[in-house]
Amino acid sequence: MSAELREQIAVGCRILAGAAQGDYVWGHLSARDPDGAGTWMKAAGYGFEEITADRTVLVDRDGRVLDGTERRHAEYPIHTEIMARRPDVNAVVHTHSRAAVALAATGRALEPVSHEGTFFTPPDVPRFTATGDLILTRELGARLAECLGDRPAVLMVNHGVAVAAKDIPTAVVATLLLDAACDMQLRVLAAGGAAHRSSDAEALSKREHCYGDALIDDAWRYLVRRLGTG
Ligand SMILES: [Zn+2]
């Protein structure tokens, strides 16, 4: 079963690469081991587009590599601590999305000015401000997980994003949606700010209509087909 999961991590990483979510070899995607053995993660030292099933590692909450032959990322606590706090979360993405970092630095809210924003707001996306430095300890990972709370994503101010979901397809698609939503908001701000935005009620309705489980699954299948692997 872990072989299937490792392959899905690899596919997810290559989709993230294709959507320009990579930052050289930084950024990661993880999934909870189905047998509770730990967290499978993209290995360190490779770009998203270079990830294969063999370039994933199983890590525990102390960062020990339990399986796999590659190195783990230093920021593994982002993944292990979010999964420890959120039993509903089976997949986590961390990227340095340029649009998200730029928007978070402005201190402005993410507004539902397009479809994508409605996946995340209302209420506004939480902001992690305890540090803009790397998440290298369990304690910092736990603080990030606390900031995320029960939400699908958190903006790590001056650093990146963490996106949490029930499975890899949802986590990957949500990461692309967050990047697009932040990019759209930056365009709106550059044009002088929003004169029109969805009300909370409309945004919540759009969330259901645009991004229900079946539609997220359709988007994932499309992204996999576009990779040429499905
Ligand atoms: Zn990072």
CB atoms under 10 Å from CB of 146, counted, come to: 15
Q: How many angstroms is it from 59 CA to the middle of ligand 1?
A: 17
Three-state SS for 149? coil
Q: 152: pLDDT confidence band, cut at 50, 70 and 90?
A: very high
Q: For residues 93 and 29, is the Cβ–Cβ distance under 8 A?
A: yes
Q: How many angstroms is it from 198 CA to the middle of ligand 1?
A: 31
Q: How many angstroms is it from 132 CA to the middle of ligand 1?
A: 9
State the average pLDDT over residues 215-219.
98
Q: Given this model, what pLDDT does residue 26 score?
A: 97
CA of 79: how far to CAs of 13, 19, 73, 92, 168, in Å? Answer: 15, 21, 10, 6, 13
Q: How far apart are CA 22 and CA 51, in angstroms?
A: 12
State the average pLDDT over residues 186-207.
98
State the average pLDDT over residues 54-75.
98
Q: How many angstroms is it from 124 CA to the middle of ligand 1?
A: 21
Q: How many angstroms is it from 136 CA to the middle of ligand 1?
A: 10
Q: How many angstroms is it from 214 CA to the middle of ligand 1?
A: 30
Q: Given this model, what pLDDT does residue 105 score?
A: 98
Q: 137: pLDDT confidence band, cut at 50, 70 and 90?
A: very high
Instruction: Determine whether 52 is exposed, middle or buried from the number of CB atoms within 10 Å of its CB (0-12, 13-18, 19+).
Output: middle
The secondary element (H helix, E strand) that includes residue 106 is helix 98-106
CA angle 166, 171, 176 (to 5 degrees): 155
Q: How many angstroms is it from 94 CA to the middle of ligand 1?
A: 7
Q: How far apart are CA 194 and CA 206, in angstroms?
A: 18
Q: In CATH, what number does 2-227 get?
A: 3.40.225.10
Q: Given this model, what pLDDT does residue 228 score?
A: 85
Q: How many angstroms is it from 135 CA to the middle of ligand 1?
A: 7
Q: How many angstroms is it from 78 CA to the middle of ligand 1?
A: 9
Q: 229: pLDDT confidence band, cut at 50, 70 and 90?
A: low
Q: How many angstroms is it from 176 CA to the middle of ligand 1?
A: 17
Q: How many angstroms is it from 194 CA to the middle of ligand 1?
A: 30
Q: How many angstroms is it from 129 CA to the middle of ligand 1?
A: 14
Q: How many angstroms is it from 32 CA to the middle of ligand 1?
A: 19
Cis (ω within 30 of 0) for the bond into 122? yes
**Which one-letter amino acid corresponds to residue 172?**
V
Mean pLDDT, all residues of the chain: 97
Q: How many angstroms is it from 159 CA to the middle of ligand 1?
A: 6
* pLDDT higher than 70, residue 230: no
Q: How far apart are CA 171 and CA 144, in angstroms?
A: 17
Model pLDDT for residues 16-46, shown as the tens digit of each residue: 999 999 999 999 999 999 999 999 999 999 9
Q: How many angstroms is it from 160 CA to the middle of ligand 1?
A: 6
